[in-house]
Amino acid sequence: MESFTKVLVACEFSGIVREAFRAKGHEAFSCDFLDSEIPSSYHIKGNVESFLWMNWDMMICFPDCTHLAVSGARWFKDKLPQQKEALEFIQTLLYCKIPRICLENPIGIISTHIRKPDQIIQPWMFGHNETKATCLWLKNIPKLTPTKIMSERLAFVHHTSPSKTRWKERSRTFTGIAEAMTSQWGSIQ
């Protein structure tokens, strides 16, 4: 069944999820402060909050986890104002008027300050030999069903060497997860 759902992929610089939805015939746009790594006229460079009012059918969002993820817990006491601002942004995304929403983030303080995630997924559930616990907060979208469980599981992303681009390497969506999102959520009416 071909569907032409209007999808906003918020806080996505990679273009991976946007392109997965576009490949299935959806009217999908990504939005981020950064340029898209996959150049496209379907990427909006700017603040996603300026575009939430548009008539989107679905939003999949990947907000920055810098001040939210437990991997940075040792610095939490020094970043309370940044955490407050990040949590307010999460609430803006989760509670906007878009009818179907998925918000993705690693295990962190969203669970204790807003609500627990609806699902925790791993890349190894979707055809990648990688461990990276990823929380999904869902609104009117079913949980993702694993598509290809891998028996070998490594922590490549977790052990990425320190560099100026380490955050980018660690934040890209795995293509298997993007494909599962578009296959499983792309025909929801």
pLDDT at position 2 is 43
Please indicate, yes or no, if residue 164 is contained in any of the structural domains. Answer: yes
Domain CATH for 154? 3.40.50.150
Range of the domain at 44: 6-185
Please indicate, yes or no, if residue 1 is contained in any of the structural domains. Answer: no
Please indicate, yes or no, if residue 61 is contained in any of the structural domains. Answer: yes
Please indicate, yes or no, if residue 28 is contained in any of the structural domains. Answer: yes
pTM metric for this prediction: 0.89
Rg (Cα) of the chain, in Å, rounded? 16
User: Using CA atoms, how far apart are residues 108 and 176, in angstroms rounded to an integer?
Assistant: 23
Helix pair 175-185, 16-23: axis angle to 10 deg: 40
pLDDT at position 1 is 38
Number of structural domains (the chain) is: 1
DSSP string, 102-123: EEEEESBTHHHHT---SEEE-G
Q: What is the pLDDT along the chain (189 residues), one digit of tens a residue?
A: 344 689 999 999 999 999 999 999 999 999 999 999 999 999 999 999 999 999 999 999 999 888 777 776 666 677 778 889 999 999 999 999 999 999 999 998 899 999 999 999 999 999 999 998 999 999 999 999 999 999 988 875 555 566 676 555 666 889 999 999 999 998 765
Q: What is the dihedral of CA 51, 55, 59, 65, to 10 degrees?
A: 20
